[in-house]
Amino acid sequence: MAKCGVETKSDACRLAQMSFAEFEQSVRTQKEPPAGLPLALQALWHDAKGDWERAHSAVQQNAQQENPRDGAWVHAYLHRKEGDDGNAGYWYRRAGRPFPDTSFETEWSEIARELLGKV
């Protein structure tokens, strides 16, 4: 992991220090996700912007490049949100997660907080 200090402005350091509130703010204020953001978080970012297609594309790339369980969780959430519970159930099983009975907003926040904690 990068050594982060006051003088350091690398993407890795900014992400390592990104809070949930900062992630939410980036959705509100930026046109693109923060540079260096893992693909699963990029998918959540695009979903929050209302771009399901870009969110789904990012999470599909995640399955090939990064933590597959994190990507599966986001993938499950996206399919649940689109109303495809059968496909969502498959991805929740791949993620090792139960099918949630919470709101989409609650699940989005839960996923984002957990994934930000891994950056």
pLDDT of residue 10: 47
Model confidence at 47, pLDDT cuts 50, 70, 90, reads: very high
pLDDT in tens, 79-94: 999 999 999 999 999 9
**pLDDT higher than threshold 90 for residue 74:** yes
What HEC string does the chain produce?
CCCCCCCCCCHHHHHHCCCHHHHHHHHHHCCCCCCCCCHHHHHHHHHHCCCHHHHHHHHHHHHHHCCHHHHHHHHHHHHHHCCCHHHHHHHHHHHCCCCCCCCHHHHHHHHHHHHHCCC
